[in-house]
Amino acid sequence: MGQQKKLMRALAGEAQDVPPIWMMRQAGRYLPEYRATRAEAGDFLSLCYNSELAAEVTLQPIRRYGFDAAILFADILLIPDALGADLWFVTGEGPRLSTIGTEDDFAKLKGAADIHDHLAPVYETLRILSRELPDETALIGFAGAPWTVATYMIAGRGTPDQGPAHALKGMNRTLFEAVMERLTEATIEYLLAQIEAGAETVKIFDSWAGSLKGADFEDFAVAPARRIIAALKAKHPDVPIIAFPREAGEGYIGFAKATGADCVALDNSVSPEWAAEHVQVDSCVQGNLASSHMVTGGDALVEETRRIVNAFAGGPHIFNLGHGITPDADPENVQLMIDTVRGS
Ligand code: CP3
């Protein structure tokens, strides 16, 4: 059955006249039905841990738009939460966590294999979705990459330049590497459990990969992805993996080969023509329309969508944005993008 789904066919390396399409943050605040369910849940984290409601918001954009894939509704910061860090979200500002700056902070964390009780509601969300999704819709699981999750755990919040994580890496390399090791192991545990609960493919979000330069990019973006992917493939060789080393630039070249990923997701700082020549030659690619078009719409949206479809038409491609859709997006622009991709 997997082979019939457009998304799975692209991940298997097939070029299609009309690429499959889904959107990062497709269940989100730009949709009135999402805002209503989130209000019902109380707050964002309660929504993530309420399997019925998390499945409901995952299904909302599928019902409204008929995307080719549904992405599990959860967050990359559930891993630190499951490891015992404190986590909360400040409305209008973003996540806050207890920080990791010393060996004592690190010693309080749980072991990687001890995350599953806490994350059981996420696995239940996937089981519900496996039953309820339309036959043609693929189910995507995900996790944050160790570096990106570490940047939040070390700083206790999002940071423009990931300064605190870079500082710890420079000042206490042993502690930094211990954090990375724990996150790598926990991510393997988490993604294996997601696959066993019904995820047909998984995506690894390295949103801050772009701030790793030179040897750091190899050590903390490429190497952890390679280890995670090897561990998943050892148990589930047929489950394809999407890697998103956001803003990697030249680092996108060879990333699939170096890590074993089946698909590389592209942000919109690289041109589709460049990426077709340098990245799509090795693997399926996903992307990469600027999410600002979902706010501004119009002819520019249509032209840029067509340009991306055409640039990637020669090989396997999954149409997506270059980053998550923003709360100020107009739901009608999403429909315009889909109609343009599907040529209707
Ligand atoms: O894509 C999807 O629809 C699936 C669900 C999903 C969410 N977050 C839901 C969410 C996924 C895949 C993520 C990934 C995620 N979370 C990343 C990596 C991708 C990226 O955006 O770079 C990161 C860095 C996070 C951490 C995070 N979660 C931040 C920094 C924030 C606050 C910023 C914001 O957009 O408000 C969140 C909150 C969050 N995660 C929301 C959603 C729908 C908004 C929360 C709300 O409803 O108030």
Which atom, in ligand 1's list, is nearest to the CA of 74?
Answer: 5
CATH number at residue 180: 3.20.20.210
> What was the pLDDT predicted at 2?
46
> What was the pLDDT predicted at 207?
98
Nearest to 209 by CA among 200, 198, 220: 220
**How many domains in the chain?**
1
Helix (H) or strand (E) holding 339: helix 331-342
Say how far apart CA 291 and CA 326 lie, in whole Å.
7
Secondary structure of 230-244 in the HEC alphabet? HHHHHHCCCCCEEEE
**Residue 306 annotated to the active site:** no
**Residue 330 annotated to the active site:** no
Say how far apart CA 166 and CA 154 lie, in whole Å.
10
Q: Report how far ligand 1's centroid is from the alpha carbon of 76 (Å).
A: 7
For ligand 1, mutation pick of 49, 59, 67, 75 (most atoms within 8 Å of CB) = 75
pLDDT tens profile 51-79: 999 999 999 999 999 999 999 999 999 99
Q: Which domain holds residue 78?
A: 2-342
**Residue 127 annotated to the active site:** no
Which atom, in ligand 1's list, is nearest to the CA of 23?
Answer: 1
Q: Report how far ligand 1's centroid is from the alpha carbon of 142 (Å).
A: 12
Q: Which of 34, 49, 152, 190 is catalytic?
A: 152
In the numeric block, which tokens belong to residue 188?
Answer: 């393997």
For ligand 1, mutation pick of 23, 25, 201, 204 (most atoms within 8 Å of CB) = 25
Ligand 1: does its nearest atom lie under 6 Å from the Cβ of 329? no
pTM of the model: 0.97
In the chain, which residues have pLDDT < 50? 1-2
**Residue 25 annotated to the active site:** yes
Q: Report how far ligand 1's centroid is from the alpha carbon of 92 (Å).
A: 12
Ligand 1: does its nearest atom lie under 6 Å from the Cβ of 75? yes
Burial of 237: CB neighbours in 10 Å, binned 0-12, 13-18, 19+: exposed
